[in-house]
A and B are shown apart, each in its own frame.
Chain A
Amino acid sequence: MSSMTEQHQPLLQVSGLTVKLRGFHTAALVVDDFSLTLERGESLGLAGESGCGKTTAALALMRLLSPGLELTRGSVRISGEEVLDLDEQSFDDVRWRRVAYVFQGAMNALNPVITVGDQIVEAIHRDRTQDMARERSRELLESVGIDGHRAGAYPHQFSGGMRQRAMIAMALAANPEIIIADEPTTALDVVVQAEILDLLIRLQKERGLTTIMISHDLAAIASTCDKVAVMYGGRIIEIGAVEKVLRQPCHPYTRALVMAAPQSHQDFRKISPIPGTPPRPDERGSGCAFSPRCPFARDICRAEQPPLRMVGESSVACHLVEEL
């Protein structure tokens, strides 16, 4: 290693990120050993059912966990620099400036009593005069497809899609390298959903942004992302290129998710739901978290947690992957 003087550093390298619920005696892990690597300009979709830890993992990256949650271990490196060790003040230079977050629920994430322009100005504020910041907020709105003159409007004067665009503009305020978008299309109309996804693709290309999109909509991930990570019970259970993972899923859970997603010209009666519900963080046993719902589960699945390992071109956490 030492012989390589200029070792290649990926833009984002997360390893072993683990978040637990405070106040539980047993290990109630909401996110368990979350690791991934993204190169500059890559886009990753984070998929999985509600409650599987997608949002928590992303918030842990931003050091924005709510007080009931605790980051117990893990490392986040941006261009090789460890950012979890930084003190709160130094981390301010990372949050929004290097990694920005588009929060879930565009309908409610904006302050209703402040104009949209002023809210973006608030996000820019530092190092700029008020006038410069206003000018910049107009530019940002234009860049996401909203007329700059609308900066003086209040959130309720915007449609749902426009509010989501404004949220994205706000995330772009400090020219970040990485954007995490949490369910950016949920609760929006289909036509508007397609527009927001197009906007994200355009921004990725024009600005060379690295994006992480959290979504339970596999079709949305397939349209916008290069890679996909599927989470279950707080762990990544399959990660790889979108074409590979969504066309030939290896993990039984990924298969079930793909089967549950609507396909074109398919009789609905053939769509199969996944029986049962995901386990709560304090109810997971020592084995694979999916084993209670898995049709293929054997003794080893119930006893031992399968590690994430390379299978062909993607990584899969399943004991039986070779046999299935």
Chain B
Amino acid sequence: MTPLIEFRDISVHFPVPRGLSDWLHRIPHQEICAMERVNITVHRGEIHAIVGESGSGKSTLARVATRLQIPTQGQIYMNGEDVTILRSRAAMRDYRSRVQMIFQDPFSSLNPSQTIFAHVAEPLIINGTSGDAKNLSDKVLATLALAGLRPAEIFAQRYPDELSGGQRQRAVIAGALVMEPELVIADEPVSMLDVSVRAEILKLMLELRAARGLAYIFITHDLHLAAAIADRVSVMRRGRVIESGLPSEVLKNPTEDYTRQLLASAPTLDEALERRAARNLHAGSLSPPAVARNVQS
């Protein structure tokens, strides 16, 4: 089966800015490698999670996938077609309507002076697919309802500051959905939300996959979250994919030390409680630890 999107050997290098003194001292051009020969394949209806810490290249991947960044090397194939270089505006427009993005911060990705209706309608108007006013309105309201903002007529007239964090993220999702994309890039879609709201947004994303066959590239630094929602997990570090596999495999038998470290630094609640109990047991024999350390040295 042809994959929905395939990144083949993608590298992105950024030049380091050179000052006059670098030039005088003949210091050679330097480059930062944000992505290095990354291969990622996403099938229709699949959720592929990209996990890594800041600076691992996961957001550069999102920029490449949304065509905000042109890769230095490598090819992108969509439905088997090479889309690495899109010369015509029409081709770019078509690509961008098929690949949409959800950003991390629902508090800054909505225009505060625009109603939710205007936010969701904007991509349709820009792409010239809005049709007449009635058509546009129907489509926007249907999308809002699909994103769980019901009654849509009421939410459409609201401004972002009248919505809670979870509702704002739903509005952002509606803005991405209205173009009926095949692939959605979600960059940390729940990290700014309360724990109690996160599950709601994740459930919505799963529902939309079931309803529309959407595929997601789900970018997060939380390996547990990635494992819980994704069909496939890729761990990135310093611009390279260092581990990739089924979530259960990656979580239970991580092959890389780095993956283990990622898992250890974000304990789930039960793990944190267990570690705490273990530490208290130790504390009985060693306390206080500062003193114990002095004795040893």
Contacts and interface: CB of A to CB of B under 8 A. Distances in A.
A246 B271 CA distance: 12
Contact of A194 (B198, B265, B268): B265
Given A217-B195, A218-B195, A257-B196, A247 B273 contact: yes
A256 B200 CA distance: 13
Interface string B34-78: 000000000000000000011000000000000000000000000
B290 interface: yes
B277 A243 contact: yes
Contacts of A193: 265-266
Contact of B198 (A192, A243, A265, A273): A273
Contact of A190 (B206, B266, B290): B266
Contacts of A273: 196-200, 203
Main secondary structure of the interface of A (DSSP, over half): helix
B150 interface: no
Interface stretch (B89-97, B133-141, B172-180, B221-229): B221-229
Interface string A202-226: 0001100000000011111011000
A261 B195 contact: yes
Given A262-B268, A273-B196, A273-B200, A222 B228 contact: no
17 contacts: A189-B53, A191-B53, A191-B262, A193-B265, A193-B266, A216-B195, A217-B195, A218-B269, A219-B268, A219-B272, A247-B273, A260-B196, A261-B268, A262-B269, A265-B251, A266-B228, A274-B196
A246 B262 contact: no
A189 B54 contact: yes
- Determine which residue in B196, B200, B251, B268 has the highest number of CB atoms from chain A within 10 A of its CB, and name it: B196
Interface in B193-220: 194-200, 202-203, 206
Contacts, number: 111
Considering the complex of A and B, which 6 residue pairs feature the smallest CB-CB distances, nearest first? Answer: A268-B228, A194-B265, A222-B272, A273-B199, A273-B200, A274-B196
A189 to B, nearest CB: 5
A128 to B, nearest CB: 26
Q: How large is the interface on A (under 10, 10 to 19, 20 to 34, 35 or more residues)?
A: 35 or more
Contact of A50 (B165, B225, B268, B270): B165
Nearest to B267: A219
Interface in B255-282: 261-262, 264-273, 275-277
A86 interface: no
A265 B264 CA distance: 14
B129 interface: no
Given A243-B276, A260-B195, A262-B228, A219 B221 contact: no
Nearest to A47: B195
B24 to A, nearest CB: 24
A108 interface: no
Interface string A177-199: 00000000000011111110000
Interface in A252-277: 256-258, 260-269, 271-274, 277
Contacts of A159: 54
B288 interface: yes
A205 B269 contact: no
B157 interface: no
A50 B197 CA distance: 10
Given A190-B262, A219-B267, 8 more contacts: A189-B54, A190-B223, A190-B266, A191-B53, A191-B261, A195-B265, A220-B272, A257-B196
A242 interface: yes
Interface in B126-167: 164-166
